[in-house]
């Protein structure tokens, strides 16, 4: 499946957001809300790609049927003008394979496959897991290296091995090791995307193609401009935007959990991201008040400011 926004050096586009899943007050998926948020992210926040059913999409608490309907809703809304990447990872290889095949049937442009979490497999297990998922569907794969959640990093040697697979083409890095990522980029054709909003500009500086952001829910246009400035040689302008957005990154990524604060931030800018599902809980009044100050300090326009 060809990506509508990809290029050889950025196969999934450059500005991507790991999209929230809106839920109604009674805990059901709001599929109209899914399409509304997807459209807003592409048309107003300059996203040329979206990741659905990732961490920020609360994928551990959605059923396979819900994941399929969410993916199809996003594809219907924006699939002709944005790369739609389906989260297909779990800590069960067989289940991940089934998710990959279902995503291909639904029309996904690519797969995001996270490191198996909780069971802490050895590197050979990681290699076989990712290979099995990549073999299961004729879709390009972005690996998601996030040891803070999975408990296990994908080591440099393993990434180099995986980079030989014809369908494993990219890495979303949330390992915060720019040197290790540089080694992998130097040794393979794997394309890196920043998966850590605190390091977006540093990752661009060592060769990352773009971002898979959470902050992009409300600052995607600014992040896209930062990418444009950096790539055009206006490093000072990119640094200025990086610094401008520091309060926004602080508010969304460090005060509590990213999906919680993304939905609170969306509400502050006039978008309905819905509620979260247990075991997550919605932001408190105090957290929202702090977040409001963070967004204003970052130069974002709120609905009542």
pLDDT tens for residues 190-212?
Answer: 999 999 999 999 999 999 999 99
Of residues 245 and 4, more confidence is placed in: 245
* pLDDT at residue 25, rounded to an integer: 87
- Inter-residue contact 9 to 191 (CB < 8 Å): yes
Question: Would you say 150 and 55 are in contact if contact means Cβ atoms under 8 Å apart?
Answer: no
Q: How far apart are CA 21 and CA 66, in angstroms?
A: 10
Query: Which are the catalytic amino acids?
Result: 144, 172
Other CB atoms closer than 10 Å to residue 100's CB: what's the count?
Answer: 25
What's the pLDDT at 122?
98
**pLDDT per position as a tens digit, 217-265:** 999 999 999 999 999 999 999 999 999 999 999 999 998 999 999 999 9
pLDDT for 6: 85
CA separation for the pair 124, 132 (Å, rounded) = 12
pTM above 0.85, yes or no: yes
Could you tell me what percent of the chain has a pLDDT over 70? 99
The residues, any chain, with a CB within 8 Å of residue 299's CB and separated by 6 or more, are 222, 244, 245
Alpha-carbon span 106 to 176, nearest angstrom: 33
């Amino acid at each position: 499946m060809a990506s509508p926004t990809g290029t050889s050096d950025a196969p999934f586009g450059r500005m991507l957001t790991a999209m929230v899943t809106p839920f109604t007050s009674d805990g059901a998926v709001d599929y109209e809300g899914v399409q509304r948020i997807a459209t807003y992210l592409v048309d107003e926040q300059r996203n040329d790609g979206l990741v659905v059913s990732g961490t920020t999409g609360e994928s551990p608490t959605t059923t396979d049927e819900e994941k399929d309907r969410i993916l199809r809703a996003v594809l219907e809304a924006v699939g002709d003008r944005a790369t739609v990447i389906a989260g297909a990872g779990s800590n069960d290889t067989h289940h991940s394979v089934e998710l990959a095949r279902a995503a291909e049937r639904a029309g996904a442009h690519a797969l995001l496959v996270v490191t198996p979490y909780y069971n802490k497999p050895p590197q050979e297990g990681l290699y076989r897991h990712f290979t099995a998922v990549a073999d299961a569907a004729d879709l390009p794969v972005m690996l998601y290296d996030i040891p803070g959640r999975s408990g296990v990093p994908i080591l440099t040697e393993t990434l180099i091995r995986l980079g030989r697979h014809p369908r494993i083409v990219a890495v979303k890095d949330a390992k915060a090791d720019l040197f290790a990522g540089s080694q992998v980029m130097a040794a393979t054709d794997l394309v890196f995307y920043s998966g850590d909003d605190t390091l977006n500009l540093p990752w661009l500086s060592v060769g990352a193609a773009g971002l898979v952001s959470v902050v992009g829910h409300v600052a995607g246009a600014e992040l896209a401009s930062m990418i444009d400035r950096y790539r055009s040689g206006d490093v000072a302008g990119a640094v200025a935007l990086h610094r401008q957005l520091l309060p926004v990154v602080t508010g969304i990524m460090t005060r509590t959990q990213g999906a919680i604060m993304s939905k609170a931030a969306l509400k502050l800018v006039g978008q309905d991201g819905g509620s979260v599902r247990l075991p997550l809980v919605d932001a408190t009044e105090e957290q929202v008040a702090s977040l409001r100050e963070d967004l204003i300090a970052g130069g974002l326009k709120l609905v009542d400011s």
